[in-house]
Amino acid sequence: MLAQIDRERLPRHIAIIMDGNGRWALKRKLPRIYGHRAGMRAVRQGVEACHRLGVSYLTLYAFSIENWKRPPAEVKLLMTLLREYLKKEMEEMQRENIHLGVIGRIHELPGAVRKDLQNALARTRSNTGLHLTLALNYGSRAELADAFSKLAMQMRKNGKMEIDEKAISRSLYTQDLPDPDLLIRTSGEMRLSNFLLWQAAYAELWVTETLWPDFRRRDLYQAVLDYQKRERRYGGLG
């Protein structure tokens, strides 16, 4: 499958809504947390696939602001898994020259998580390969609200100021990232769940029934192949 992909026309930025961990566990009559653990393996597959292809940006929706509504034990486990992931994958990230980034209300995460994140960001800062961004405590509407507050503050400081699309994009957590070209969601749900609403305006959507813990490199290659068959028109005539 890899051979069929046109390396000249890769999506520059792939974003993934990693969904279906709970259903994966339920199918096996296991507690949901087993699904989250199994989902970590799929993260490695997605990252590896992008690395092998030479995709520049990969953004993973790992924890939404709305996910705090879940039972405290599940939230706690998700935070623990994140810390485990950062520890376990650091060597691999260095070897593969991966540059880690985060988007979301990071300051609201537990202190220990923030510390591990800061450490991982610092260690991968000078890496020049795949830009891997984790969306943590992320919500697109919260991001927009934060951006508008920032702009309002700048406006108060500077007096008159024009708020155009560029100014808004520059004020989002994603200011350093290009807009996603391909947005993948696993486990069949046809919704964005408050992910990159502004940035995904012209992203190509690709939804698979595969549950996130079953996601493998070939699924990502399949998504890219399908993406390459699409005609992107941006409202024009193509």
In this chain, which residue has its C-beta nearest to Mg ion?
19
* 180 lies in the site for ligand IPE, by CB under 6 A: no
What SS3 class is residue 17? strand
The one among 10, 14, 15, 18 contacting ligand IPE by CB under 6 A? 18
Maximum Cα interatomic distance, the chain, rounded to a whole number of Å: 60
Residues that bind Mg ion (CB under 5 A): 19
CB of 230 to ligand IPE, least distance (A): 23
The one among 10, 11, 14, 21 contacting ligand IPE by CB under 6 A? 21
Q: Taking CB under 6 A as the criterion, which residues in 55-94 touch ligand IPE? A: 61-64, 67, 78
Residue with smaller CB distance to ligand IPE, 26 or 90: 26
In this chain, which residue has its C-beta nearest to ligand IPE?
22
With CB cut-offs between 5 and 8 Å by kind, which of Mg ion, ligand IPE, none does residue 171 bind? none
**Considering only CA atoms, which of 28, 61, 188, 187 is closest in space to residue 134?**
61
Listed in sequence order, the residues at least 6 apart from 3 whose beta carbon sits closer than 8 Å to its beta carbon are: none
Distance (Å, whole) CA 181 – CA 203: 5
* 127 lies in the site for ligand IPE, by CB under 6 A: no
Q: Is 127 a catalytic residue?
A: no
CB of 110 to Mg ion, least distance (A): 22
Listed in sequence order, the residues at least 6 apart from 28 whose beta carbon sits closer than 8 Å to its beta carbon are: 34
Among the listed residues 6, 21, 67, 127, the single catalytic one is 67
Listed in sequence order, the residues at least 6 apart from 40 whose beta carbon sits closer than 8 Å to its beta carbon are: 81, 84, 85
With CB cut-offs between 5 and 8 Å by kind, which of ligand IPE, Mg ion, none does residue 61 bind? ligand IPE
Q: Is 19 a catalytic residue?
A: yes
**H or E segment at 59?**
strand 57-64
Q: Would you name the residues annotated as active-site residues?
A: 19, 67
Q: Which residues bind ligand IPE (CB under 6 A)?
A: 17-23, 61-64, 67, 78, 187, 189, 191, 193, 212
